[in-house]
Amino acid sequence: MTERIVSFVMSGGVGSRLWPLSREDNPKQFHDFSGDGSMLAKTLRRLTARPEGETPVFLIASERHADRVHADIAGHELSGGGPLFEPTGRNTAAAVALASLRTLSEFGDSLVLVVPSDHEIATAQQFWQSVEAGTAAAR
């Protein structure tokens, strides 16, 4: 039996690493560097491409980016997930705590996968093979 994996995409940041292209109102996860969608949209496609198993996908993002997030998630089936907006960014530990609490309240003791929104991973099938290979250890 394939286990449920509740996925969380961390889509925060202040846009300082790729300055001047990336700015506070337009951080790198919203850029389309390869011509096939923003980094955030590509992350969503990768997570929703899991071959089998329930995979709700949530996004943790700043309220200031709500319009951009809604634009990027349009057309993606998030399997019961959706956006979670922070009034103020609190970095990775707070995002993981939020992911854990949300998973426990909605899905019980399911596995949690937390990923950044701005990594380039072109092989969704191999990505999921790696994740699935680690589920026994995660459990």
- pLDDT score of 1: 56
DSSP assignment of the chain:
-PPPEEEEEEE---S-TTTTTSBTTB-GGG--SSSSS-HHHHHHHHHTT-SSS---EEEEEEGGGHHHHHHHHTT---TT-EEEEESS--HHHHHHHHHHHHHHHHHSS-EEEEEESS-----HHHHHHHHHHTHHHH-
CATH number for the domain including 79?
3.90.550.10
What's the whole-model pTM score?
0.89
Which burial class, exposed, middle or buried, applies to 33 when counting CB atoms under 10 A from its CB (0-12, 13-18, 19+)? middle
User: Which range has the worst mean pLDDT, 17-31, 43-57, 112-126?
Assistant: 17-31
| More confidently predicted of 23 and 132 | 132
**CB-CB contact of 39 with 65 (8 Å):** no
User: Which range has the worst mean pLDDT, 51-55, 100-104, 118-122?
Assistant: 118-122
Of the candidates 5, 110, 9, which has an alpha carbon nearest to the alpha carbon of residue 53? 5
pLDDT digit string, tens, across residues 46-58? 999 999 999 999 9
pLDDT digit string, tens, across residues 67-79? 989 988 888 888 8
Please, which pLDDT band fits residue 136 given cuts at 50, 70 and 90?
Answer: very high
Number of domains in the chain: 1
**Could you list the residue range(s) of the whole structural domain that residue 108 is in?**
5-138
Of the candidates 2, 117, 6, which has an alpha carbon nearest to the alpha carbon of residue 58? 6
Can you say whether the dihedral through the CA atoms of 136, 77, 9, 129 is positive or negative? positive
- pLDDT score of 16: 67
- pLDDT score of 15: 64
Alpha-carbon span 2 to 79, nearest angstrom: 15
